[in-house]
A and B are shown apart, each in its own frame.
Chain A
Amino acid sequence: MEEKNKMVGMPVSRIDGILKVTGKADYSVDHPVTNVAHAMIFKSTIAAGKIRDIDTAAAEKAPGVLAVITHKNAPKLNEKGGIRGGAMLQSPVIEFYGQHIGLVVAETFEQARHAARLIKVDYEEASPRTHFEKLSKEAVTPKDKERADVKRGDVKAALANAEYKVEEVYETPMEHHHPMEPHATIAEWKGDHVTLYNSAQIVSGAQNAAASTLNLKPEQVRIVSPYLGGGFGSKGGQWANLVLTAVAAKMVNRPVQLALTRHQMFNSVGLRQRNHQKVSLAATKDGKLTALAHETTTHCAIDNEFVEPCGDCSKVMYEVPNSLISYRVVPMHIILPTYTRGPGKSTGSFALESAMDELAYKLKMDPIEFRIKNEPERDPTSGKPWSSRTTVQCLQEGAKAFGWEKRKPEPRQNQQGNYLIGYGVACGTYPAHQRPSSALVKLDRKGNEVTATVELAAADLGTGTYTILAQTAADALGLPMNRITVKIGDSDLPPAAGSVGSVGATSYANVVNDACIKITDELMAKSGKQFFTRPTAAQLMLSEKVTEFQTRADSKELEGADEYSSHSFNANFAEVRVDMYTGMVRVDRFLAVTGAGKILNPKTANSQVIGGVAWGIGMALSEESVVDPRWGNFVTRSLADYHVPSNLDIGTMEAIFIREEDKHSNRLGIKGLGEVGIVGVSAAVANAVFNATGKRIRELPITPDKLI
């Protein structure tokens, strides 16, 4: 097929778009299961201690109630089955405020909610460990080997002898994912097999965790997850709501649906941990970095550790002879933190890239020039060559497109009426990987018409998986896109990687491409003919009069890929307007320039990046989950208190992609865009706020009170 007819690289609209805007795409609890009963979680109202007694008598007698399930009557589940944060209802112990301590199942949602309020709990309270500032002094090195100290050279000496240095602490608050679609499940048993309609970023992961926790074999559990209304990491691992729905359905002997309320989302599916990050940078007077230390202190659950890698960007961004990356963690009576868009990198880049801006200012050097000056030729931590590195290109192309030359190096020099205008820049990166995945390709011919079906247990977070796979298969098979059917989101299909850690597009598109190549090879072999030019699978189906043919490919990371350090890179440019009187900040313009290998679909890629930018702006200016340390509850308990950006908060957002194909990383040259869009965004905004006002805000979010 000729180059000009290729679908990959075209800005194709989502093929599932019409289904979504007409309400025909079935999300978790939209699936037409009949005779469904409704479950409602009820929560612990203390953060630490245990349940002495729980009185469910009134709830059980309430109208419509079918069952009340607590630790007293819940079946024994496998606590180590892989459900994040544990299976719940297995003991009377309370480890955080809002912990699920029971479930009411009733005919209707309203009846279940009402009955849940009739339950009386007698607690034995312990004093909760929820005061991060106080507890952070007790933080210790994490058990996770990946978070052990990484040292190079002698940071202390380099700092002591530094001509210029910055040593500052950067604080980022807890954040919540709050996907548009809250976590929701329908469980339906047939004999000892259960089908779970449940949105999952990792379909086979959800299957395995549910099976293991419910003491079943994987083949007894089917996960159906064709569409996800977002997840941002909170649907990567599965949480107790998934298995509790299955437990409830078994106990009442009919299908049960459980949809978490927005309020319950605060204490049910993880969060982004609060980070206290100390960054120390030293440089010579001509702007060569001599030391970089990035020391993170954070919290985890009482007996479950998770620490997001805030130091990751610092490992790879700059050439520096002396470096230290460290983590300290303290358990608290707060729900287990988890992967949250750009885990570690979005928060870590805020600290690193703010510090870089501070040091550039001290050096009286343009922050772009300063970064380019410290560009590493190889991965400074692993010593491996880059599969490709686009930081400098991102910075330079971005500076041109953004009009960086209009920036005034000194703060408070650009005033328009009552507003101060400022420009900021910050870089970001996220690792690129291909993960093992399998895919089935089926070809069908009816007369002269060949159609194809591509099947794998992939996920579409709303990001466009269906579309890019149809594009990939169309090119690889020699068929128009409308002859391709993509089936994903079902654990009955061949297992695939998750839509997590920016591996989705890379892993899925490569395995589908591999399967299409394989099926073409097999059809050629089957024909027994010699070909001068390679025919397409579609042509072979016609010429050989094959009616049905299928094959499966199982792909792993490209051989030799691990000899390279593979990352997506970006440069972020922000223009802000700060009201001199009220301290309200508005991001008027934002530009993200990204190098992420081959871009399969510029339209969905653009959406992915500006979505990341919008969250990054929220992270910079308004998002924060606030704990009352006395009781461990979130005082931000709805979307009226937890401020995701509104339309009015977002000015113009633009995304530019560097033209590249990274063939060292994988056959198709893709690097993944899932996370990198948010990385560096909040630092670019904070740096712009400094340029506007002369105030360096090291504690997110930058709300008006911090600027007056």
Chain B
Amino acid sequence: MRPFKYTNAKDVPSATRLLTANPGGRFLAGGTNLLDLMKEDVERPNELIDISRLGLDQIKTIATGPHKGGLSIGGLGKNTDAANHALVRQHYPLLTQAILAGASGQIRNMATNGGNLLQRTRCPYFYEVSMPCNKREPGTGCGALEGINRLHAIFGWSDKCIAVYPSDMSVALAALDAVVRVRDAAGQERTIPFGDFHRLPGDTPEKDTNLNHGELITAIELPKNNFAEKSYYLKVRDRASYAFALVSVAAALEVSNNRIDQARIAMGGVAHKPWRALQAEQMLVGKEPTEANFRLAAEAAMADAKPLEHNKYKVELGRRSIVRALQVAMDGKRS
């Protein structure tokens, strides 16, 4: 890796100030993604500002404000701790399942919640510096567009970039309507609804998110909901663990009197951001939770898919995965 300066941030204000002052710098949290990319020469920061000792790892019920009664998860807490926290397991089991479906135990012990949201694509052309890639080096072209794109997007891609965003955790967060709380060098806090946090590639695939340089993710907030009883994260992959999703589905239902009151369907492995199937969700409201209705919803969810040369299977796989995830969410039976 290229030589860089290492700075240990004392507190949140100094961390944000240091990064704002240096456009070439990066925060270092768990390092499980950033350091990998530096060894590959993909990320070339001239300074690492270590934020791993700043605290911000609490998980607590939100006492006031619009999300009162919801849960706040510290941005610098570890993935393992978030997945296993009693309140998360009790009220947001979907999130627990999604986190545990990702990476490996060792990596989740290092990985932070904020870092997870900001992990970069696993597109092999992005990782290989000898290949063209607009995300890594704007203007060089997209190596995957006419290359091996079995793992790439079927929704929302542009001819500048067809990458998928790899986080499992974020798919659950999208389904749960989470909000990302961030803080800048001036001490200003703002919240970004999850749907607006990650971007589609458009003409600027180099920008994964709408986070500004220097802003620090302090917390992820989960609004209160009634999905805990009926939710499921389904991840389809090439091997049983330690592989990224071909397609994943976070499904959640609220049902009363055999009618669906609310539905959530978010997909991973299909787009540059967690992909909410809003239309399909709407279709389910007021309907009976039957396989036939799940099929109709799945059909609608995949209607706009635009597969590429090697990933046509994702359309059918997406359909089946939505049906299956909704079924398991409904009856709790995985087998």
Contacts and interface: CB of A to CB of B under 8 A. Distances in A.
A645 interface: yes
Contacts of B2: 114, 117
A336 B260 CA distance: 59
Given A581-B324, A582-B324, A643 B243 contact: yes
Interface stretch (B8-16, B209-217, B234-242, B272-280): B234-242
B116 interface: no
B125 interface: yes
A63 B324 CA distance: 57
Judged by DSSP, the binding face of A is loop
A641 interface: yes
B124 A637 contact: yes
B333 A705 contact: no
Interface string A644-664: 011111000000000000000
Contacts of B96: none
Contact of A113 (B1, B242, B324): B1
A646 B146 CA distance: 31
Q: Name the residue among B41, B131, B150, B244 with the largest chain A CB count within 10 angstroms.
A: B131
Nearest to A636: B124
Contact of A628 (B122, B147, B321): B147
A692 to B, nearest CB: 15
A253 interface: no
A616 B320 CA distance: 29
Nearest to B123: A635
Given A635-B148, A705-B317, A708-B313, A419 B242 contact: no
Interface string A579-602: 001111010000000000000000
Nearest to B321: A582
A622 B124 CA distance: 17
Contacts of A630: 146-147
A582 B236 contact: yes
Nearest to B148: A635
Contacts of B148: 626, 628, 635
A638 B146 CA distance: 21
A418 B239 contact: no
Interface string A677-708: 00000000000000000000000010111001
Interface string A414-439: 00111100000000000000000000
B128 A637 contact: yes
A454 interface: no
A704 B238 contact: yes
B127 interface: yes
Contact of B241 (A641, A648, A705): A648
A586 B238 CA distance: 11
Interface residues of B, number: 39
B130 interface: yes
Interface in B146-180: 146-148, 150
Interface in B26-69: 39-41
Contacts of B243: 640, 643, 646
Contacts of A45: 130
A419 B143 CA distance: 38
B3 A708 contact: no
B234 A419 contact: no
Contacts of B3: 63, 114
A631 interface: yes
Interface string B228-266: 000000101111111110100000000000000000000
B316 interface: yes
Contacts of B1: 110, 113-114
Given A417-B335, A643-B243, A708 B316 contact: yes
A418 B335 contact: yes
A395 B314 CA distance: 40
Interface string A95-121: 000000000000000100110010000
Given A582-B234, A582-B320, A582-B324, A648 B147 contact: no
B140 to A, nearest CB: 13
A117 B41 CA distance: 8
Interface in B114-141: 122, 124-125, 127-128, 130-131
A187 to B, nearest CB: 25
Contacts of A648: 239-241
Nearest to A705: B313
Contacts of A63: 3
B317 A582 contact: yes
B127 A622 contact: no
A649 B240 contact: yes
Contacts of B147: 628, 630, 635
Contacts of B302: none
A356 interface: no
B228 to A, nearest CB: 23
Most central of A63, A621, A641, A647 by chain B CB within 10 Å: A641
Nearest to B320: A581
A113 B242 CA distance: 27
A704 B246 contact: yes
Interface in B284-323: 313-314, 316-317, 320-321, 323
A253 B241 CA distance: 47
B35 to A, nearest CB: 12
Contacts of B125: 635
A586 B128 CA distance: 32
A383 B128 CA distance: 53
Contacts of B237: 584, 704
A633 interface: yes
A417 B333 contact: yes
Contacts of B39: 113
B317 A704 contact: yes
Nearest to B149: A635
A63 B2 CA distance: 11
A637 B29 CA distance: 25
Contacts of A640: 122, 242-244
Contacts of B316: 708
A49 to B, nearest CB: 14
B246 to A, nearest CB: 6
A643 B128 CA distance: 18
Contacts of B128: 633, 635, 637
A633 B244 CA distance: 21
Given A635-B147, A640-B122, A622 B238 contact: yes
Nearest to A113: B1
A110 B148 CA distance: 31
Contacts of A582: 234, 236, 317, 320-321, 324
Contacts of A417: 333, 335
B36 to A, nearest CB: 9
A584 B236 contact: yes
Nearest to B322: A581
A581 B321 contact: yes
Contacts of A586: 240
Contacts of B240: 584, 586, 646, 648-649
Interface string A612-644: 000000000110001010110101111011010
Contacts of B41: 117
Interface in A243-273: 263
28 contacts: A45-B130, A114-B1, A114-B3, A581-B323, A582-B317, A582-B320, A582-B324, A583-B236, A583-B317, A621-B239, A622-B238, A628-B147, A628-B148, A630-B147, A635-B128, A637-B128, A643-B243, A646-B240, A646-B241, A648-B239, A649-B239, A649-B241, A701-B238, A704-B236, A704-B317, A705-B314, A705-B317, A708-B313
Given A622-B238, A635-B147, 16 more contacts: A114-B3, A417-B335, A581-B321, A581-B323, A582-B234, A582-B317, A586-B240, A628-B143, A635-B125, A635-B148, A640-B122, A641-B124, A643-B243, A649-B241, A703-B238, A708-B316
Instruction: List 4 A-B pairs, minimum CB-CB distance, nearest first.
Output: A45-B130, A705-B313, A648-B240, A581-B324
Interface of A: 45, 63, 110, 113-114, 117, 263, 416-419, 581-584, 586, 621-622, 626, 628, 630-631, 633, 635-638, 640-641, 643, 645-649, 701, 703-705, 708
